[in-house]
């Protein structure tokens, strides 16, 4: 459930980032007075949204692992004697999104910790996903009835080895996203202050950022 909560946070992040866009770049005053900052913020926001989209779509792997964990003793693996064999869930095709995420990690602006975390996460996902897909089909076909769970036990070795790495790297990406989101918020607030001063829009934006920070605690 912790993984699910993290992923939901990622879903919220993309909405927050998109909602912040007009305040970062939406006024000619801000763009005219600080175009370099605006351009960097816009590019960083685009990169982060690419990352969040990949996180959202790969949440299915977390859900599949949770389903698997609900009926399998992760220390022993499946035996074929379980009261109910739920299997796993199929995954979404994220090959294009994975390519975009990896490409974004090489692009400007560089966000070293986040870029490295996302690259590691994508690589781990690409190792885990094929195993989940094969295992899902195996359980859907109920092949464990004919091979006495032989392949199920083989799949479990890979799942047990890769899933903790996957979970940890997903958490690392989530934490790095939060950090960069705070930086973007501060940059947008500073740009707005330079353009208009601490007027009503600045105060509204400041209150919203503070509220988001409290929600993330």
- Which of 3-7, 87-91, 179-183 is predicted least confidently? 3-7
DSSP H helices, the chain, are 2-25, 28-33, 35-69, 95-105, 112-140, 144-147, 150-196, 200-216
Q: So what's the pLDDT on residue 150?
A: 99
Q: So what's the pLDDT on residue 102?
A: 99
Q: At what angle do helices 35-69 and 112-140 cross, to 10 degrees?
A: 30
Distance, in Å, from the CA atom of 180 to the CA atom of 177, rounded to the nearest integer, reads 5
Q: For residue 82, name the pLDDT band (cuts at 50, 70, 90).
A: very high
Q: What is the pLDDT of residues 138-148, one digit of tens each?
A: 999 999 999 99
User: Is residue 97 scored above 90 in pLDDT?
Assistant: yes
Q: 178 vs 192, which has greater pLDDT? A: 178
User: Is residue 79 scored above 60 in pLDDT?
Assistant: yes
Distance, in Å, from the CA atom of 69 to the CA atom of 2, rounded to the nearest integer, reads 13
Please return the burial class of 76, using the count of CB atoms within 10 Å of its CB with bins 0-12, 13-18 and 19+.
exposed
Q: What is the pLDDT of residues 128-185, one digit of tens each?
A: 999 999 999 999 999 999 999 999 999 999 999 999 999 999 999 999 999 998 988 8
User: Is residue 203 scored above 70 in pLDDT?
Assistant: yes
User: Is residue 80 scored above 80 in pLDDT?
Assistant: yes
Q: Let me know: does 62 contact 4? Beta carbons within 8 Å.
A: yes
């Amino acid at each position: 459930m912790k993984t699910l909560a993290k992923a939901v946070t990622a879903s919220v992040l993309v909405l927050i980032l998109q909602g912040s866009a007009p305040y970062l770049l939406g006024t000619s005053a801000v763009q005219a007075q600080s175009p370099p900052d605006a351009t960097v913020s816009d590019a960083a926001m685009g990169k982060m949204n690419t990352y969040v989209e990949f996180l959202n779509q790969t949440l299915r792997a977390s859900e599949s692992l949770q389903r698997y964990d609900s009926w399998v003793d992760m220390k022993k693996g499946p035996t074929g004697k379980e009261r109910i064999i739920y299997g796993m869930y199929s995954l979404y095709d994220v090959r294009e999104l994975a390519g975009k995420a990896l490409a974004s990690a090489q692009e400007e602006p560089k966000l070293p910790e986040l870029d490295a975390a996302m690259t590691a996460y994508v690589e781990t996902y690409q190792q885990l996903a094929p195993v989940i897909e094969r295992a899902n089909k195996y359980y859907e076909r109920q092949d464990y009835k004919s091979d006495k769970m032989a392949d199920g036990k083989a799949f479990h070795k890979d799942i047990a080895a890769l899933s903790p790495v996957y979970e940890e790297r997903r958490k690392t990406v989530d934490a790095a996203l939060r950090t960069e989101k705070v930086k973007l918020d501060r940059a947008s607030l500073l740009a707005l202050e330079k353009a208009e001063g601490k007027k009503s829009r600045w105060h509204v934006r400041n209150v919203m950022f503070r509220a988001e920070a409290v929600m993330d605690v």
